[in-house]
Amino acid sequence: MRDSAEPTAPLTARQRQAARIAEAASRPLGWTLLKILLLAIVDAIALYAAFVLFAHREWLVLALVVAVTVAVNVIYFSRRLVPAKYLAPGVVFLVLFQVFTLLYTGYIGFTNYGTGHNGTKEQAVSSLLASAQQRVEDSPAFPVAVVEQFGTYGFLATDPASGAALLGTAEEPLREVDATFEGGRAVAVDGWTTLPLARVFALSAELESLAVPFGEDPNDGSLRAPDGQRGYLYVSALEYDARADTITDTATGTVYADIGAGAFTAQDGRELLPGWQTTVGFDNFARAVTDESIRGPLLAVTVWTFVFAFVSVVTTFFLGLLLALVFQNNRMRFRNGYRIILILPYAFPAFLSALIWAGMMNESFGFINQVIFGGASIPWLTDPVLAKVSVLLVNLWLGFPYMFLVCMGALQGIPDDVNEAAVMDGANPWQVFRRIKLPLLLVTVAPLLIASFAFNVNNFNLIYMLTRGGPRFDDVSIPVGHTDILISMVYKVAFTGQNRDYGLASAFTILIFIVVATIAVISFRKTKALEELN
Amino acid sequence: MTKRGIAAVGAITAVSALTLAGCTAGTGGDGGDAASSLTVWVDAERVATLQDAADAYEERTGVRVALVGKSVDDMKDDFIQQVPTGRGPDIVMGAHDWLGELSANGVVAPLELGDSADGYLPVALQAATYDGTVYMLPYAVENIAVLRNTALVPEAPASFDEMIAPGTFVVEQGAEGNPYHLYPFQTAFGAPVFGTDAAGGYDATDLQLGAPGGFAFADWLAAQGAAGTLNTDIDGDIAKQQFLDGTAAFWLTGPWNVGAAVDAGIDVAIDPVPSPTGQTASPFAGVKGFFVSAESTNKVAANDFLVNYIGTEDVQLDLFQAGNILPALTAAADAAASDPIIAGFQAVGADGVPMPAIPAMGSVWQFWGVAEAAIVNGADPTATWQRLVDDVTAAIE
C-alpha cells in the first residue's frame, strides 16, 4: 500500500544509497544489536567447533562447518538475500538430518558393512595376526623387564627354570647375560636402561609389535609381554605376506588371498574373519530380491503391509471424522472436556501404549480376557487372524485422535454459508455431509491421509511392541510372522541373531523408500486433481 | 530481519556446530597423555562400584581409569561400530556370549591370563575362551536356579514331579518361548545344543538338538504344556508377581530376581533345578567380564589393569558386593559363598555349562523359543522339534 503511493521514477545510485542509510537509521537499534549478538554467539560456537575439529584433523567436517558459518553470516548481514534468510535454517537442517542420512544409507546399501566386515583391511590383518598368536604348549611365564638402548627396545627376562638372565631384541634372539638381580628376577643389565612401568605403559604400540625370538628355531616361539611385566612364548598360526597380500595358515599351509570380496579367502571358498568393509555394487539389491529365504514370505508381508496401512488410515480417518462431526454440535455441553479426553491417546508415546495393549491382550492374564470377557481365553495376539485384527484395533486407538484433531480444524474452515445454502436447497444432513462437507474436507485432509499412509507403511514401533510380528509363519525358514510389515521384516532379516547386515538392511530400506515415494507421488497428483475440481 | 529469523539462525548453527563437533569430541582421551589414561565402558549401574577400584589403580600405577557408564542394551553394537573408527574405549564390560560377534568383527584383542588362568572357575575360563584363545577377563558367573518359598514348602524337592506336587512352579516364558530358562530340563534329557570339540569349545558342526533326547524333551514339554505346568502366557513380570504374592512356591530364575523376593519378605532358599529324568539338569552359565579393544592404543596398561588388578581376589570381592553375583575367581567365589544364597547359586552353577558364543548359536535362538512355545501350546512335539532341527541346520549352513 505504502509503496504504491511513492513516486515510481527510477532512483539514482546516490538516492538508493541515501535511502539505505535512512532505512538503516530508522530501524530499531535493539533488533540490530540482538542480531549481531546472536550471530556472534553462533560464530563463537562455530569457531570453537573449528578448533576442536582442527585438533582432530577432521578436514571434511571442518570445511563444512566453515562453509556453513560463512554462508550464514553472509545471508544474515546481506540486505538483498531476504528469501535466503527464511530458507537457510530449514535448508541446513534438511541437509544435516535428511539428505545426509539418505545419502549415507544409500552408500551403505552398496557395501558389505555388517558382521565380519566392520573395519578397514589393515585392522582386519592386525586383528587376525593378533588372534593367531598361540602360546607354546607347556612353556613357562618369564618375569620380564623392558630395557632400552639407543632407541632399540628389548626384554630382560629371567628364566624361571635356571634363574639366569636373558636379553634379546626383535632382531637378536634371547641370550644369557650378567645382570643385576632383585628378589630373584633380573632388573638391570649394563649398557641398557631399564624402563619403569609408567614408561612401559606409554610404549604400548612398540611393545605390541615387540617379539623376541627364543632361539634360532622359529618353532620355539617368540617372547612377548602383553602386560609389560610377564613374558610368554608364542608361535603364530597365521603369516601375512604383505607383498603378495596373502595370509598363510602355518599349520595346514592353506593360502588365503584377497579376491575382492572383503575377506581373505582360500581356494575352496573358506573365509578368514574378520574381513573388511568394501563396496560390492548391486549385490545387496540382488540378494534382497533373489534370496530364497527372504523371497518366500515377501509377498504375504507386502500384501499385509499395504492392507495394514490402508485399513489403518481409513478406520482412523472415519472414526476421527465421525467424532469431529459429533463434537461440532454446538448444543453439546462440556465439549472441550470430551475433546481433551479423546485426544489423550495421542499424548501417550505410541510404543508405551502398544506395550500396555500387549499386556492387556495377554491370553490368560490380560485385562481384556480376565475382566471384560470374564476369564475367556481369546488368543488376541497368538491367532494369525485375530492378531491382525488386534494390531488394527490398537492402531485405531492410537491413530484416531490425530484424525479427530485434523478433521476438527478442517471442518471449522468450511464456511457456514455453504452449509446454509445447501439446507435452503433442501439437502438432508447426509447429502450435506456427502456432497458438501466431505469433498471440501478432503481437499485439506488428503495430503495428511497420504502422509499417514506412508507413516503406517513404516509403523515399526506398533508391530514390534505389540506382537513382534508374531505369530510366526509355520512354513518359512526365517523368523517372520503373520503381522510383520516390510520394515519389521527387514529388521528381523538384518538384525536378529548375532549377524548384523547393515548393507542388506540399507538396500531394503532403499527399496521400501522407492515404493513409498512412488505411492506418495501418485497420490499427490491425484490430490491436485481434487483441488482443481473445487 | 525478523526476530524469529534471528532465533532460528542462532539455534540452527549452534545445533549444527555442536553436532559436528560432537562427532569428534569423544576422542579427548587419545591425545598426548594417552598413555596414562584408560577409557572403560561399563554398565551404567556399575560405575559407582568400579570407581573405587579405578581410583585405587590410579594411585598404584599413575594410570588414570576413566569410567563411562553406558546402557547395556547398546554397549555391544556401539563397541563394534566405534572400535574401527579408533574412537571406542580401551576396555568394555560385557558378557561372554558377545565373543563370537566381537571376534568375527575383529574388535577384541586376545588377553593373556598366564598362570592366573588356573585361579578362575572352570566354567568362567571356558566361557572366556573362544577358538582356543582367551579374550575376556571374567569377573562374575551367573546362572539360574530354583527359588523356593520356605514358608510354603520347607523341604527341597528331589525331582521335578516332587516339586510340582506340593506347590505351584513358575518359570518365565512368553509368546516366543524362553529356551534359556528351559535349558536345564533339556540337558536333563541329554540333548545339549552343540557337542564340544577336543579343546572343550562348542562345535557348530555338531548340532545335538536333534539327538533322541531332544525328542524326548519335546514330548515332556508337550505334557507339561497340557498339564499347565508350563504356560507361554507367563512372562517375566507375571512369574515374579506370582512368586511374590505367594501363588507360586517355586520360581526358576536368576540371581537378579533374588533381591525382589527378599525385599518382599519371602524367606528364600536356593535349590538345584529338579531333574525330570534323573540326569543332571545343567543351566546355562552366563559369564560377565571385560574385553580389550583391538584398536586400543594402551593395550599394555589395559592388560595390566585387567589381569593384574581386576583379576585379584580383593577387587573381585568388591565387584561382588555391588552386584551380588558369584565372582569368577575361585578364591573370591569361595569367600562370597558364606552367603547361603550365593552358595546356592554356586552349587547349581557347578553343573552349569557356558552359553555358546559361536555365531551358529544366533541361528539356534531364532527358532528355538518359538518351537518350544508351539509345543507347550499343543503343537505336535515330534514334528515341531524336527522342524526346529531342520531350520537350525539350514540356517547354520
Contact B104 A274 (CB under 8 A): yes
| Mean pLDDT for all residues in chain A | 84
- Provide the chain B residues 93-112 that lie in CB contact (below 8 A) with chain A: 100-101, 103-107, 109-112
pLDDT of residue B198: 78
Contact A265, A274 (CB under 8 A): no
Say whether A182 sits in a helix, a strand or coil: strand
Contact A20, A79 (CB under 8 A): yes
- H/E segment holding residue A146: strand A142-149
pLDDT of residue B10: 53
> CA-nearest residue of chain B to A383?
B175
**Residue B50: how many CB atoms within 10 A of its CB?**
24
Q: Counting beta carbons within 10 angstroms of the beta carbon of residue A313, is it exposed (0 to 12), middle (13 to 18) or buried (19 or more)?
A: buried
- Cα Rg of chain A (Å, integer): 36
pLDDT of residue A220: 79
Judging contacts by C-beta atoms under 8 Å, the chain B residues touching residue A471 are 175
pLDDT one-digit tens code per residue, A287-298: 877 877 677 777
Distance CA(B339)–CA(A402), nearest Å, equals 56
Distance CA(B70)–CA(B91), nearest Å, equals 13
Chain B: nearest CA to A10, how far in angstroms?
25
Residues 6+ apart with CB under 8 A from A475: none
B23 touches chain A (CB under 8 A): yes
Distance CA(B333)–CA(B121), nearest Å, equals 8
- Residue B304 corresponds to which cell in the numbers above? 595390566
Q: Give the Å distances, CA to CA, from B139 to A194, B310, B319.
A: 33, 8, 8
pLDDT one-digit tens code per residue, A459-510: 898 998 888 887 887 766 677 888 999 888 888 877 766 677 888 888 888 8
pLDDT of residue A325: 86
B133 touches chain A (CB under 8 A): yes
Phi/psi for B338 (5° steps) reads: -65, -20
> What b-and-e string marks burial along A478-491, b requiring 16 or more CB atoms within 10 Å of the CB?
bbbbbbbbbbbbbb
Q: Give the Å distances, CA to CA, from B79 to A311, A334, A407, B92, B140.
A: 41, 55, 47, 8, 21
Binned at pLDDT 50, 70 and 90, residue A1 comes out as: very low
Number of H helices, E strands in chain A: 21, 16
Q: Give the Å distances, CA to CA, from A488 to A253, A384, A479.
A: 45, 17, 11
Residue in A52, A123, A128 closest to B295 by CB: A123
pLDDT one-digit tens code per residue, A388-420: 999 999 999 998 999 998 998 888 888 888 888
Say whether A305 sits in a helix, a strand or coil: helix
Residue in B10, B20, B132 closest to A42 by CB: B10
Q: Which amino acid, A318?
A: F
- Provide the chain A residues 390-449 that lie in CB contact (below 8 A) with chain B: none
Chain A: nearest CA to B180, how far in angstroms?
15
Pairing state between β A230-236 and A222-224: antiparallel
Is A71 a residue whose pLDDT tops 70? Answer: yes
- Residue A66 corresponds to which cell in the numbers above? 566453515
Low-confidence ranges of chain B (pLDDT < 50): 1-3, 21-35
β-partners of residue A430 are none
Pairing state between β A230-236 and A133-135: antiparallel
Of residues A146, A126, A133, the one with CA closest to residue A227: A146
B199 touches chain A (CB under 8 A): no
Residue in A35, A123, A499 closest to B106 by CB: A123
The residue-averaged pLDDT of A95-105 equals 88
Checking A366-371 for CB contacts under 8 A at 24+ apart, the result is none
Of residues B254, B256, B320, the one with CA closest to residue B284: B254
Residues 6+ apart with CB under 8 A from B176: A468, A470, B369, B370, B373
Q: Counting beta carbons within 10 angstroms of the beta carbon of residue A344, is it exposed (0 to 12), middle (13 to 18) or buried (19 or more)?
A: exposed
pLDDT of residue A531: 64
Q: Give the Å distances, CA to CA, from A480 to A14, A457, A491, B244, B260.
A: 75, 17, 10, 35, 35
Highest mean pLDDT: which range of A189-193, A297-301, A308-312, B204-208: A308-312
- H/E segment holding residue A309: helix A292-326
- Cα Rg of chain B (Å, integer): 24
pLDDT of residue B269: 92
Contact A122, A242 (CB under 8 A): no
Q: Which amino acid, A139?
A: S
H helix runs in chain B, sequence order: 3-25, 47-61, 72-82, 99-104, 122-128, 160-164, 179-188, 212-227, 236-244, 258-263, 299-305, 313-323, 330-336, 340-349, 360-376, 381-396
Residue in A123, A207, A274 closest to B300 by CB: A207
Pairing state between β B353-354 and B284-293: parallel
The residue-averaged pLDDT of A434-446 equals 85
Binned at pLDDT 50, 70 and 90, residue A48 comes out as: very high
pLDDT of residue B28: 38
Residue in A48, A226, A468 closest to B176 by CB: A468
Judging contacts by C-beta atoms under 8 Å, the chain B residues touching residue A479 are 366-367, 370
pLDDT of residue A8: 57
Judging contacts by C-beta atoms under 8 Å, the chain A residues touching residue B9 are 38-39, 42, 72, 75-76, 85, 88-89
Q: What angle do CA A341, A344, A350 make, to 5 degrees?
A: 160
DSSP labels, B236-294: HHHHHHHHHTTS-SEEEE-GGGHHHHHHTT--EEEEPPPPSSSS--PPEEEEEEEEEET
Binned at pLDDT 50, 70 and 90, residue A25 comes out as: low
pLDDT of residue B30: 39
B114 touches chain A (CB under 8 A): yes
Contact A117, A228 (CB under 8 A): no
Contact B116, B315 (CB under 8 A): no
Distance CA(A57)–CA(B345), nearest Å, equals 52
Distance CA(B194)–CA(B306), nearest Å, equals 31
pLDDT one-digit tens code per residue, A253-293: 888 988 888 888 888 888 888 888 888 888 888 887 787 76
pLDDT of residue A2: 45
Kindly report the pTM of this predicted structure: 0.78
Contact B92, B65 (CB under 8 A): no
Contact A274 B106 (CB under 8 A): yes
> CA-nearest residue of chain A to B300?
A227
Chain A: nearest CA to B224, how far in angstroms?
16
pLDDT one-digit tens code per residue, A356-400: 888 888 877 888 888 888 878 888 888 889 999 999 999 999 989
Phi/psi for B194 (5° steps) reads: -125, 150
pLDDT of residue B34: 42
Of residues B319, B255, B286, B314, the one with CA closest to residue B42: B319
For chain B, the first-to-last Cα distance in angstroms comes to 65
